[in-house]
Amino acid sequence: MITTEAVRRALQGVKHPELPSNLVELGMIQDIALSEGQTLITVALPFLNVPIREEVARSVESAVSALDGAGEVVVQLREMTPPERQRFMVLARQQQQGGMAAHLNDIRHVIAVMSGKGGVGKSLVASLLAVALRREGKRVGILDADITGPSIPKMFFPNGARPGSSPLGLLPAETETGIKVMSINLLLDSEDQAVVWRGPLISGAIKQFWGDVFWGDLDYLVVDLPPGTSDASLTVMQSLPLSGIVLVTSPQDLAGMVVRKAAQMAQHLAVPILGVVENMSYAVCPQCGERLELFGPSKAGAVAARLGAPLLGRVPLDPQLSIRCDAGQVEGYRAQGFAPIAEAIASRASRVATRPMFPV
């Protein structure tokens, strides 16, 4: 006759996919219910939509199914309560096997730039934010979390660049003005080389860019996220101590709708939304100075109001900015209108306590 204790012993052999401890030690096995012909196991996850959920469920089912008398094994997943999640975070943080660099870095504020939609200018906004903060004398870095579509190095390094190395870990490449940059494109043989990776590899690379890179002392680390609400965004929101996210949209209704999806993800994961930036908001006629709303009237105010977040500013279309970015000279663009946006972001980020890092 199968017993609850026998099931618990079997589950002690099921390790967390990203931690050295088993699920029992981590407090993830919440309940074991035995009935005739069935074993029901309730597993608590820090968040229901973590990428490892299916792997955990399969491992639990496999371990218990091997027991005589287990019958049908049903795995029920639920989300941890805040106290349970806090305990899990403490245990995970104690067991984290990050590189030496993670313990030596002193990064005061981590700001992610995000949008649910591609092509709205997240990388541009991330770059302008880093440049504006650097002009204010801040120590700034950029972590390019867009592993399969990195564009940050192209904007900053006209002749390419490579990261350095040290006993403490990888050293980020430094731009002309001293912004530290880490991107997968800095590690490839060619900037055109495709990175064809599945989600777990992408998540692992982002974690390495955080924990195995010696960033040193930074006032701000700007994280450029890829479009969407999948593994990369989830990894950043759950693994990095974010001060908050900046949402980037454009005037089209479609962009606003997808941005709301990204905002919903942030709210679900309790990540502060610092505000909304509308890119490609208008163009200025070089002859008469009139503002031309090429993609229709601005909807950023309505989007921000619906999210309960401030509208940080509107960024115009400017051919000179495009030329500068293509030439790797974004630091040479004056971007006077962006300074108030950066100031507002920095001000709001300074009022947010950073969230503790824990593996997903």
Indicate whether 234 pLDDT > 50: yes
What separation, in Å, do the N-terminal and C-terminal C-alpha atoms of the chain show? 36
Res. 355: pLDDT tops 60: no
pLDDT in the model for residue 169:
77
Q: Is the pLDDT of residue 244 over 70?
A: yes
Question: Which residues span the domain enclosing 305?
Answer: 104-350
Domain boundary among 95, 126, 151: 95
Rounded mean pLDDT, 175-195 = 92
Considering only 87-96, 174-183, 292-301, 345-354, which range has the smallest mean pLDDT?
A: 87-96
Q: What is the pLDDT of residue 360?
A: 39
User: Which of these three, 47, 73, 95, is where a domain ends?
Assistant: 95
Residues 191, 138, single domain; the answer is yes
Does a structural domain hold residue 360?
no
Pick from 18-27, 34-43, 44-53, 285-294 the range whose average pLDDT is largest.
Answer: 34-43
Q: Which whole number is the average pLDDT over 233-248?
A: 90
Q: Are residues 143 and 240 in the same domain?
A: yes
Domain boundary among 61, 78, 95: 95
Number of domains in the chain: 2
Asked whether residue 245 falls in the same domain as residue 130, the answer is: yes
pLDDT of residue 45: 92
Assess if residue 53 is contained within a domain: yes
Q: Is the pLDDT of residue 109 over 60?
A: yes
In a domain, 44, yes or no: yes
pLDDT score recorded for residue 357: 43
The pLDDT assigned to 299 comes to 85
Q: What is the 3-state secondary structure (H, E, C) of the chain?
A: CCCHHHHHHHHCCCECCCCCCECCCCCCEEEEEEECCEEEEEEEECCCCCCCHHHHHHHHHHHHHCCCCCCEEEEEEEECCHHHHHHHHHHHHHHCCCCHHHHHCEEEEEEEEECCCCCCCHHHHHHHHHHHHHHCCCCEEEEECCCCCCCHHHHHCCCCCCCEEECCEEECEECCCCCEEECHHHCCCCCCCCCCCCHHHHHHHHHHHHHCECCCEEEEEEEECCCCCCHHHHHHHHHCCCCEEEEEECCCHHHHHHHHHHHHHHHHCCCCEEEEEECCCCEECCCCCCEECCCCCCCHHHHHHHHCCCEEEECCECHHHHHHHHCCCHHHCCCHHHHHHHHHHHHHHHCCCCCCCCCC
CA 112 from centre of chain: 6
Where residue 99 falls among pLDDT bands split at 50, 70, 90? low
Query: What average pLDDT does range 196-224 have in this prediction?
Result: 90
Domain identity same for 299 and 331:
yes
Average pLDDT over residues 335-352: 90
The pLDDT of residue 97 is 47
Query: Angle, nearest 10°, between helix axes 199-211 and 231-239?
Result: 30
Give residue 162's pLDDT. 92
Whether the per-residue pLDDT at 1 is higher than 80: the answer is no
Is the pLDDT confidence value at 50 over 80? no
Asked if 346 contacts 176 with a C-beta cutoff of 8 angstroms, the reply is: no
Of 7-21, 25-39, 88-102, 153-167, which gets the smallest average pLDDT? Answer: 88-102
Tell me the mean pLDDT in the region 319-344. 93
- Reported confidence tier of residue 57, pLDDT bands at 50, 70, 90: very high
Of 220, 252, 4, 207, the residue nearest 113 (C-alpha): 220
Assess whether 186 and 319 both reside in one domain: yes
Shared-domain flag, residues 53 and 188 = no
Q: What is the mean pLDDT of residues 190-212?
A: 86
Asked if the structure places residue 359 within a domain, the reply is no
Residue 358 lies in a domain: no
The answer on 83 and 110 residing in a single domain is no
pLDDT band for position 359 (50/70/90)? very low
How much is the average pLDDT of 101-107?
78
Q: Does the pLDDT value for residue 258 go beyond 90?
A: no
In a domain, 356, yes or no: no
Mean pLDDT of the chain: 88
Rounded average pLDDT over 78-98 = 74
Rounded to whole angstroms, how far apart are CA atoms 282 and 265? 28
CATH number of the domain at 178, please: 3.40.50.300
- Residue 299 CB-half CA count within 13 A: 17
Nearest residue to 217 via CA among 96, 101, 125: 101
